[in-house]
Structure 1
Amino acid sequence: MTESTPKPSRWMKYLGLRRREGKYLPFVPTVWGWVVIVGMVGVIGSLAFAEYSMQPDFCRSCHIMEPYYKAWHESSHKDVPCTYCHFEPGIEKTLYGKWQASSQAVKYITNTYGSKPHAEVRDSSCMRDGCHERRLLEGKVAWEVPSVRGGHVTIRFDHAPHLQQERRGKQLRCVSCHSQIVQGQHIVVTLDTCFLCHFKGFEHGRHEETLGGCKACHGSPKSAVRLPTGDFEHAQYVDRGVACENCHADVVKGDGAVPRQTCWNCH
């Protein structure tokens, strides 16, 4: 009598394998085994592609993304992956972001995309753990901006009232000021953004105080200003209640310089 072929074990059935006695390969896949192999390859390949598609280099594979990639690469956020900003924290938000990104990839492949790609950066992404989560608690920060006369001007900026209170009837977000459309200067705040809100509707600065007041952004100079007639101390006039716009007549236009005739009006 010939020995009967042993029955395959349960785990071999699950894996789709069968024995081949006396062969170089003792196990070969069944039809179900090939289905399992193809499925595993598909899952591993999908996971690998999903990981690769979350890298910045994948974003620039679309030629329309090159200027945005260059702006990011030259910014202070160049070490932060794109998905940290464009995907909100949490597994559900990440999956939703991947779904949106996949739809954009399909549009690119089918040549149905637009010439102006649109992407959102939510406040929750900016203030996620390890990024700017303490920004609202830091109080006023010193922001140095180039001056039209050369050098720099220090502006004291507080994020809390801008994000927690309405401004001109609107609720601001991080990207309301840190605009992501500034190509070449990724997420940079320009002075034009500040002027758009603080000076909106003003024709001149002689009799109109800017939104928030002058000293909300920058205090009076501490050092004396040297003039042909002597040194000028701002503190003496500020302490007497003289408003900034009494001398700096045109803060809405130009550089806010004080013309000589303004001094003659009083002196």
Structure 2
Amino acid sequence: MKKPQWVKEGLTLKGKIITVVLLLVVIIGGSVVAFKFYNFTQNNPKFCISCHLMQPAYNAWSKSKHKGINCHSCHHLSIPEQNRLLITFILHSPKTVPPLHGRIIVPWKFCYKCHWENNKKYPEAKKINNSRMHAKHYFMERIECSKCHGYILHEFLPGARFCLRCHKGKKVHGMKGFACLNCHTDRTVNLLPGRKKCLFCHGNEQIRKELIAGGTLDVQFFRPSKETIKKAPKIHVPAGAPMQFHCYECHKPHTKLMPGAGKCLSCHRDIILTGKHGLHVQTMGLACIYCHKPHSWKVTKKEAKSVCTTCHGYKDPLQFIK
């Protein structure tokens, strides 16, 4: 077979220039196409829905707090994992997303980049630097972020009773519909509600404003409704009242919300032997709070004239304890 004449003679200068230009066009064009394809697959969430399995995840993401964040900012796969998924998709054509089997899809280190460090790209991300709740659950207990956040597909704010996933048997009695963080708070070291957190519902507007100004995560995201606050009995604790301790010392929301007389006697064990207490409690069967009004507790002369006289004539309260 004879070679073409132009092969024997070689390319002219013009031909060489055209060849080089064509090669450059192919290389540059191919590079641009390759870059755009890579950028689309890595930085455009719409690439994810090219797989029909991801449509529910995409729909949930598009309505979530993370809708402005690229999928790959949180979801990172190694090259072997990407290839394995591709082969699985081609060979098996799965109809549903396989179960996690305990795998952590988004490790804490990716959450940390926005919610702990100052990320210029997402400056509005809520920070957990001062959150005792996160300090206990992650830094002390080593619980992954996704255990509480995102356990429902792309819903990052935990549900009202999400704590019950781990804290079994801690349902709240007498406060139906309450979120766990309506009571538990970032304000205290042990996360138990301090007195002021209880007074968010049971106190006045000034206390509510103070708690909201504090900006703890529990108040920001789990605030009782106006209807709940309105229905809650309002209490006043005088500054000079005895027993200035936390509400949960007497009230046990997870077992018995309202304390009975037995609760008083668990601390005041010898009170039956003092003055007329034995007569009133054991003989007459009066509950402690019949005479001692909750949260003020002292029976003053003024109160004795209204409380004690419902059963007998007025007597000085000091005579009662002698």
Q: Normalising by the residue count of structure 1, what TM-score does the alignment of the two structures yield?
A: 0.57
Equivalent residue in structure 1 for 2:109, among 112, 115, 124: 124
Task: For residue 234 of structure 1, report the CA deviation from its aligned partner.
Answer: 5.5
Would you say the 8 A contact 1:226–1:232 is kept in 2? Answer: no
The residue that corresponds to 1:111 in the other structure is 92
Q: Count residues in correspondence.
A: 205
Structure 2 Cα separation of the partners of residues 227 and 178 of structure 1: 31
Structure 1 Cα separation of the partners of residues 195 and 50 of structure 2: 42
- 1:181-235 deviation per Cα after TM superposition (whole angstroms, max 9, x unaligned): 413x5222123322333x42558879xxx9x46327972205259999x952267
- 1:116-174 deviation per Cα after TM superposition (whole angstroms, max 9, x unaligned): 2457111111122x55426342x13xxxxxxxxxxxxxxxx6322222102xxxx2121
Gaps of 5+ in 1: 1-17, 88-95, 141-156
Structure 2 Cα separation of the partners of residues 242 and 131 of structure 1: 32
Structure 2 Cα separation of the partners of residues 100 and 48 of structure 1: 22
Is it true that 1:177 corresponds to 2:148 in the alignment?
yes
Structure 1 Cα separation of the partners of residues 242 and 138 of structure 2: 30
The residue that corresponds to 1:8 in the other structure is none
Identity of aligned residues (%): 20
The residue that corresponds to 1:200 in the other structure is 168
Structure 2 Cα separation of the partners of residues 177 and 63 of structure 1: 27
AA matched with 2:69: V
The residue that corresponds to 1:60 in the other structure is 49
Structure 2 Cα separation of the partners of residues 29 and 40 of structure 1: 14
The residue that corresponds to 2:193 in the other structure is 215
- 1:11-51 deviation per Cα after TM superposition (whole angstroms, max 9, x unaligned): xxxxxxx7425x6x553549xx97x9877666554433221
The residue that corresponds to 1:186 in the other structure is 155
Cα–Cα, structure 1 residues 174 and 108, in superposed 2: closer, same or farther, change >3 Å? Answer: same
Looking at secondary structure, tell me which structure has more strand per residue. 1
Q: Normalising by the residue count of structure 2, what TM-score does the alignment of the two structures yield?
A: 0.48
Q: How does 1:1-267 map to 2 (within 5 A)?
A: 19-20=11-12, 25-27=15-17, 29=19, 44-54=32-42, 55-87=44-76, 97-113=78-94, 115-117=96-98, 118=100, 120-128=105-113, 130=114, 132-133=116-117, 135-137=127-129, 139-140=130-131, 158-166=133-141, 171-179=142-150, 181-183=151-153, 186-197=155-166, 199-201=167-169, 212=190, 214-215=192-193, 219-221=197-199, 223=203, 232-233=235-236, 239-241=243-245, 243-244=247-248, 246-247=250-251, 249-251=252-254, 258=258, 265-267=287-289
Would you say the 8 A contact 2:149–2:157 is kept in 1? Answer: yes
Would you say the 8 A contact 1:177–1:189 is kept in 2? Answer: yes
Gaps of 5+ in 2: 1-9, 119-126, 175-183, 185-189, 205-228, 265-285, 290-322
AA matched with 1:70: N
Looking at secondary structure, tell me which structure has more helix per residue. 2
Residue 254 of structure 2: SS of its match in structure 1? coil
Task: For residue 86 of structure 1, report the CA deviation from its aligned partner.
Answer: 1.0
